[in-house]
Chain A
Amino acid sequence: MMSRRNTSLLWTTMAVTLALSLGSCTMDPVHDSAVKALGGDTDLPASEFHRPGQPCVLCHSDKGPAESKFALGGTLYYLPPGKDEPVPVDGAEVIIVDAYKRETRLITNCRGNFFLRDCGETCPPPRINEPAEFGSIVYPFTVGVQKKLGDRVIYKPMQGHVGREPSCAACHKDPPFFDSPGHVYLVNQVNDLPDRKVPNPPACPPGGEP
């Protein structure tokens, strides 16, 4: 026969286990395992500079675990993957034209990251030729990247369109394979850059918005 003390200990353990399991994950095991597969955070955790090259909207969505929600997000590099570490493009424009022909411009940061915060139905109207922070996008959309380097403006459009995936890195995985073209990059080869040189990676300011 179990004593009253043992019974209450059992109930407490069960309650704590249940609370922990509910608090640590969503009820979607596929989502949870995809988040766990990303691994630990990078050197600038929980800021706009963290986890470059990873599928942003996996966490920045209704399912979390990030608190802020993105309509889309990605990372831009100078060159296709090679033997060197990819260098992020700072201050490039990401130009999106959605199904309603509405244009949205985003600017990449020091890690090459760009994102559009989701504002659902309360979005302000998009401003032409101005970078956006909040917005919503109607699929499918086309996208191109643009960067001024010296006197030259380099523009590279995506060959196809985006049908429904808000994270660029969900399809643009590294390394290139039969199911991925590799990271999003600005030029195909170093000769396409002015002086045939990849600019030095910029330093990121401390802090940054989550």
Chain B
Amino acid sequence: MIARLVALTLAAGLCALPFACAESPDKRRETAVIAPSFELYVKSGVDLYLTRRCGTLDCHGAPGRPLRFYSTFGLRIYSEDAALVPGAQPTTQEELRANYESVIGLEPEQMSRVVAEGAPDPRQLILLRKPLFEEFAGGERHKGGPVMALNDDGYVCLSAWLAAPPDAKDLGPAEQNCRNAGAVR
């Protein structure tokens, strides 16, 4: 008797399952991202740091890798007209924009939250948390190993960029950190 009851309940549950998930997506719904400045991303050297440090052809400059970066130091945006080749031509505006969108699109909602709050703890973003040494990364594994330390030039540069107000003209003292980080090969 009990077995029959259990079987009936299971069958009813299975029949109901397709209908439970059948709601069609709302096509008008959009996710707006409160994003850090694109101008500062380029001008202050955030892109230079990320592409030199992370965007090599064997890491985030590899086709198929998440958080993909394009630059003269690694992968190029495929274009029959421009025929871009690593190391041959400088990084293009299109590549800079693609890198920026890659960064802000990694966790769009969380990026909005962190930027809106002035980035009091940028480790809320996987962008800064994952590449950190394990003791600071909360046990998250980065396939390329730890590549950033708390308060090293790269970390300070990225944090300052995320915390910069929308009308900021530069990153203040962190400009020097960005220069140092971008110079490291």
Q: Give A contacts to B, CB under 8 Å.
A: 139-140, 142, 159-165, 170-171, 176-182
Inter-chain contacts of B87 with A (CB < 8 A): 159, 181
Interface of A is mostly: loop
> Which of B57, B79, B147 contacts A171, CB < 8 Å?
B57
Give the number of chain B interface residues (Cβ < 8 Å).
25
Contact B88 A181 (CB under 8 A): yes
Q: List 17 A-B contacts (CB under 8 A).
A: A140-B147, A160-B73, A161-B52, A161-B185, A163-B144, A164-B144, A164-B145, A165-B57, A165-B58, A178-B75, A178-B76, A178-B78, A178-B79, A178-B84, A178-B85, A179-B76, A181-B85
What 6 additional pairs, Cβ within 8 angstroms, besides A142-B185, A164-B144, A179-B76?
A140-B56, A161-B185, A171-B56, A171-B57, A176-B88, A178-B85
Contact A170 B58 (CB under 8 A): yes
Contact B56 A163 (CB under 8 A): yes
Please provide the 5 A-B residue pairs with the shortest distance between their CB atoms, ordered closest to farther.
A165-B58, A171-B57, A163-B59, A181-B86, A160-B73
Interface of B is mostly: loop
Q: A81 CB to closest chain B CB, in angstroms?
A: 11
How far is B56's CA from A165's CA once the two chains are assembled, in angstroms?
10
Inter-chain contacts of A176 with B (CB < 8 A): 85-86, 88
How far is B144's CA from A176's CA once the two chains are assembled, in angstroms?
25
How far is B10's CA from A129's CA once the two chains are assembled, in angstroms?
73
Q: A82 CB to closest chain B CB, in angstroms?
A: 14
Contact A178 B77 (CB under 8 A): yes
Q: A176 CB to closest chain B CB, in angstroms?
A: 5
Contact B86 A180 (CB under 8 A): yes
How far is B79's CA from A164's CA once the two chains are assembled, in angstroms?
27
Contact B76 A160 (CB under 8 A): no
- Encode B25-59 as 1/0 by CB contact (under 8 A) with A: 00000000000000000000000000010101111
How far is B90's CA from A56's CA once the two chains are assembled, in angstroms?
30
> Which of A140, A164, A179, A182 contacts B75, CB < 8 Å?
A179
Contact B56 A179 (CB under 8 A): no
How far is B30's CA from A64's CA once the two chains are assembled, in angstroms?
49
Inter-chain contacts of A163 with B (CB < 8 A): 54, 56, 58-59, 144
Known contacts A178-B78, A179-B76; A160 and B85 CB within 8 A of each other: no
Contact B52 A160 (CB under 8 A): yes
Inter-chain contacts of A159 with B (CB < 8 A): 72-73, 87
> Which of B57, B59, B185 contacts A179, CB < 8 Å?
B57
Inter-chain contacts of B84 with A (CB < 8 A): 178
